[in-house]
Amino acid sequence: MLMRSGPIALGGAVLVLGGAAVLGEANAHLPGNQQGYQPDQPIRYSHRMHAGEMQMDCRYCHFAAETGRHAGVPPAQVCMNCHGQVTAGADVLLAERKAALDEKRDPRRIVSDRLRPLYDALAIGDDGKPDSSRTPRPIAWVRIHDLPDFVAFDHSVHVTRGVACQACHGPVEAMEQVRQEAPLTMGWCVECHRANGREGGVAIPPVAARAPDHVSVDCAACHY
């Protein structure tokens, strides 16, 4: 920046201001366009760690995507399949195991601060046992993608025909925190349907059972 002459620096400043104005608008969440929306969640659950590093299948948790309209968010019990044993990050658990070995004792059970909200939601104590003095309550995940009710969208028609989650949600396996990648506007739906209709078929590799004439741009396909 210091090396730049006046007029170029001025140009840069104008551009930065322009960019800020555009971002400001996107953050205002105009109805029907929440592209980029990335709310904080009640638990700092990481898709990058689980679906990326650990390569968990999306459908292990979003199993409903194959059979119905909604992909759904998994109930806390699904998390406890692992987090009954994995009570903290690997680094913390390994350090405790080593300390226990050195001190010739049993390793202590450590529930990390990041996982405690999961235990709280299920009313399970740090010892892994149900705590009868507390009531379980569902985790209040903040909904990110949300189409208006007058639109008929169904996950299963897409997922069972081989449209990848990432085609609509972007590289979720690289996201520390999920954000809405696509605009979710009518134009966005129709553009992909056009590209994959009878004449198209470039954006998505054809899969065996695919019926391209079902990639409809008729109003009635998406509106009741």
What residues from 11 to 30 belong to the interface with ligand HEC (CB under 6 A)? Answer: none
Q: Which stretch binds ligand HEC (CB under 6 A): 2-10, 12-20, 61-69, 96-104?
A: 61-69
Q: How far is the CB of 158 from ligand HEC (least distance, A)?
A: 4
Smaller CB separation from ligand HEC, 131 or 221? 221
Give the separation between CA 197 and CA 210, rounded to whole angstroms. 11
Smaller CB separation from ligand HEC, 7 or 113? 113
CB of 92 within 8 A of CB of 110? Answer: yes
Which one of 167, 174, 176, 194 is in contact with ligand HEC (CB under 6 A)?
167
Which one of 26, 86, 95, 123 is in contact with ligand HEC (CB under 6 A)?
86
Which one of 35, 63, 73, 128 is in contact with ligand HEC (CB under 6 A)?
73
Give the largest CA-CA distance in the chain.
71
Considering only residues 205 through 224, tell me which ones interact with ligand HEC, judged by CB under 6 A: 210-211, 214-219, 221-223
Which one of 56, 107, 128, 134 is in contact with ligand HEC (CB under 6 A)?
56
Smaller CB separation from ligand HEC, 8 or 151? 151
Which one of 143, 198, 199, 224 is in contact with ligand HEC (CB under 6 A)?
143
Q: How far is the CB of 17 from ligand HEC (least distance, A)?
A: 29
Considering only residues 33 through 52, tell me which ones interact with ligand HEC, judged by CB under 6 A: 41, 43-45, 47, 49-51
Q: Which stretch binds ligand HEC (CB under 6 A): 2-10, 55-63, 101-109, 121-129?
A: 55-63
Reduce the secondary structure of the chain to three states and give it as a string.
CCCCCHHHHHHHHHHHHHHHHHHHHHHCCCCCCCCCCCCCCCCCCCHHHHHHHCCCCHHHHCHHHHCCCCCCCCCHHHHHHHHCCCCCCHHHHHHHHHHHHHCCCCCCCCCCCCCHHHHHHCCECCCCCECCCCCCCCCCCCCCCCCCCCECCCHHHHHCCCCCHHHHHCCHHHCCCCCCCCCCCHHHHHHHHHHCCCCCCCCCCCCCCCCHHHCCCCHHHHEC
110 binds ligand HEC (CB under 6 A): no
